[in-house]
Structure 1
């Protein structure tokens, strides 16, 4: 081994660390589970569990040849720390909605800024709920980086987005924060992903095995990390993450302005923007609709069945946020669905239709035409679904060899001081390309599916 880099993914259910070499080959992986405290509108984790899990996974993958590491975490997860960067509260997770009632207060400070994009689960409402009172604000990745370095660190533009950072002006909107009673000094400094935040301390080196003095680079949120791992970093290339929900990430030279708030953009570390959005539809609907079922058997049978003249709009929770914003949207069934097999196939087709509609919406805002789509997330285990999505989209879909967020962070660490796009092109490997097949039957059904969305007024259109 000549040199190596480590990526850390601080996820919801686990912490994952991965070690790669200069060819992009994965040399080691390690995982530790995490637990959460959930109720109707709340979702918390103990940040001390993160630190212990990160230490344990790093100890399994570390090597003396490590030249840097980077960390990603969930978007919108926030907590408070003391002046030394140590956590003083539980972490309010990305989907915690306890602060929803505070949203009008934020919008009132600056309607032009906040009304179209601020959402109840973003970090800023949760910060108001936490009531900092002299403590400091941090995102999950910041806390882990501070623990490894032994001192507080800056945050990155990606994690700062849902805390209200102005990516165009490249600053915190301090005037609005002061109107909310939030002192500007409690917010961290913001840097671009790939910027050195600090170096692994001697004390942490003894615990983790990562050499003392190893650079810690600013990371990105997990969605952006997966996009890096998929190699979708140039205009026209997109990453579609289909797990519990559907998340799209791509690249645009210019900022895409979406008056509906369905699309938001991160800064591309090489310049330009990373637009995308997250839907409330996704593979999570399958476990909700078919509890205890053998999904592999249903998938095998669906392949034999082929396309059907029916589709289901499956929501994992009430309302929709992408490719349109409809807080009161409800799922529906379209066409004849006589049994569970047809219901399963209908879900697969409905999700593929929402995915296609999402790309149509992005192109309507000025995104470049879709050239290719990298598929990642748990749903890629279904070969039939992968082919179906290619057929509905009408473009080739790619299956990266190692598409998890931890891998993306290792690639980001390897790019320090150079082009992330070029580094990913060198390191990321595509395992398979699936070409689309003509499916007029599906295209006709897609038209009826969109018409039903419009009839219900979900896209702001009523038939």
Structure 2
């Protein structure tokens, strides 16, 4: 059967990206436009859901001349939209980086035993500040007016699908912590928050056609359910192959290993088996976001920062950077952690600080990967890589040296778009499954081999990094109490 063009849309943390993909994995046409994120205080991170809709409509208008067979979506997750009966957002979306529900999360987590977690999820995953129930508990307590009007608590992808098709659905993989290993909702989890179960959208398989475009240039074109950006990107980068190791770099770093074996490991996420793939994942909190922060604070462009690092090798003046600017997800799951530079001297310059940021992000990724290797019982000698963060050659080499393995970089710059388009193609029958689609679409065009001397140096530095994380956690909490004496009391 002739394979047709498919359209993939990725509603990311900072931008909407979309592309028309042909049968060889080539991007025929591409769209990318960013939208703002609002940060209030140390914990609140919000976005306007209507920005996502506007940019999706802009992308569809830009692709109006293409004969597209299906549309697939992926998006950031653990970002939640409280939606009213009319399908409109009732308040700004609470972004995955938002830590306002930390107290609610802690109160919920102690009500769930380790035995329950293992039975439900196959791993002792915590209920953290980004969990849907934590967010619902916070809104119910602090915004009861919003809670009373809420019909659905939706992820960005599902809010956009509702706008595009009129259908209210979600997929099981995107709802980590709410579904079990059989891809069904867990009633006992919803029971933690009164009224939570009635505000969850119905589940639909990730490659199922849930409806058709209601209007616009692609009116009548089938739209596939899709799933979260991490799963879509990891599978699009190579996670469809059993026992493969994959690495996505964007706003955050996301490590993944595909393995049907599960060794319960604190800190790791284990997805239910779906479409023949059992994915172990470890998303950090800050990757490219740390680079953006440093560039903005230093008055540099991102390219200028990369050039600085390329021209300045590690020296005795290079400090150690802990990249937990807004807490940490995998493998530490501590929303209160904060970043630090350690070992700054009079000789430390801007280039040393920039290099330290790149190295610190790589070490956070290594820490996450080590937990995954235990969880999946897999330790490979190469990693398939994708995402915007892998467009920097100096950073790629640092990552290879810190991790001590060869990195192979996907030619497609946006694996999330490729993953979304792949789900659309499977949904309309162009491929029988993800492994066949991966064989047809995935092309790698660059490799980075670790330098043995630098690997040895980074091994020593990584040992210090691990020790510094534990020490900094306590100091950071004490500093927070000093800086916020009223709230601490």
- Equivalence for 2:444: 430
Shift of 1:427: 1.0
Indicate yes or no: 2:390 matched with 1:374: no
* Alpha-carbon distance change, 249 to 300 in structure 1, aligned in 2, over 3 angstroms: same
- Equivalence for 1:146: 162
- Equivalence for 1:391: 401
Aligned partners of 1:247 and 1:458: how far apart in 2? 24
Aligned partners of 2:224 and 2:383: how far apart in 1? 28
Q: Secondary structure at the residue paired with 1:231?
A: helix
Alignment deviations for residues 56-90 of structure 1 (CA, whole Å, 9 cap, x no partner): 21121145632211111111111233456444443
Aligned partners of 1:352 and 1:8: how far apart in 2? 28
* Alpha-carbon distance change, 141 to 366 in structure 1, aligned in 2, over 3 angstroms: closer
Indicate yes or no: 2:441 matched with 1:415: no
**Residue from 129, 137, 144 that aligns with 1:128:** 137
- Equivalence for 2:37: 36
Q: Secondary structure at the residue paired with 2:72?
A: strand
Q: Secondary structure at the residue paired with 1:166?
A: coil
Q: Secondary structure at the residue paired with 2:419?
A: helix
Q: Secondary structure at the residue paired with 1:6?
A: strand
CA contact (8 A) 2:72 2:223 kept: yes
- Equivalence for 1:324: 332
Aligned partners of 2:22 and 2:71: how far apart in 1? 12
> TM-score under structure 2 normalisation?
0.82
- Equivalence for 2:477: none
- Equivalence for 2:25: 24
Alignment deviations for residues 95-130 of structure 1 (CA, whole Å, 9 cap, x no partner): 222222322442254343478411112222112233
* Alpha-carbon distance change, 226 to 62 in structure 1, aligned in 2, over 3 angstroms: farther
Indicate yes or no: 2:172 matched with 1:157: yes
CA contact (8 A) 2:257 2:373 kept: no
Aligned partners of 2:171 and 2:69: how far apart in 1? 20
Aligned partners of 1:237 and 1:339: how far apart in 2? 39
Shift of 1:320: 3.4
Q: Kindly tell me the number of residue pairs found equivalent between the two proteins.
A: 449
CA contact (8 A) 2:207 2:224 kept: yes
Shift of 1:365: 2.8
Q: Secondary structure at the residue paired with 2:175?
A: helix
CA contact (8 A) 2:244 2:258 kept: yes
Aligned partners of 1:294 and 1:58: how far apart in 2? 30
Shift of 1:243: 3.4
Alignment deviations for residues 326-357 of structure 1 (CA, whole Å, 9 cap, x no partner): 54465343587632223333333333333333
- Equivalence for 2:370: 360
Structure 1 vs Structure 2 CA RMSD: 3.0
Aligned partners of 1:219 and 1:150: how far apart in 2? 16
Aligned partners of 2:310 and 2:172: how far apart in 1? 43
Alignment deviations for residues 197-234 of structure 1 (CA, whole Å, 9 cap, x no partner): 12223xx1xx2x1141x221111112222223323322
CA contact (8 A) 1:80 1:137 kept: yes
Q: What does 1:33-432 correspond to in 2, within 5 Å?
A: 33-40=34-41, 41-63=43-65, 65-83=67-85, 85-112=87-114, 113=116, 116-131=125-140, 132-133=147-148, 135-152=151-168, 154-161=169-176, 164-182=177-195, 184-201=197-214, 204=215, 207=216, 209-212=217-220, 214-259=221-266, 262-290=267-295, 291-293=298-300, 296-297=303-304, 299-300=306-307, 302-308=309-315, 310=318, 312-317=320-325, 319-325=327-333, 327-328=336-337, 330-334=339-343, 338-404=348-414, 405-416=416-427, 417=429, 418-432=432-446
- Equivalence for 1:457: 470
Shift of 1:194: 1.0
Shift of 1:292: 0.8
Aligned partners of 1:445 and 1:6: how far apart in 2? 41
Aligned partners of 1:398 and 1:183: how far apart in 2? 43
Aligned partners of 2:159 and 2:465: how far apart in 1? 46
- Structure 2 residue runs of 5 or longer lacking an equivalent are 118-123, 141-146, 474-489
Aligned partners of 1:108 and 1:356: how far apart in 2? 29
Aligned partners of 2:50 and 2:364: how far apart in 1? 38
> TM-score under structure 1 normalisation?
0.86
Aligned partners of 1:319 and 1:188: how far apart in 2? 29
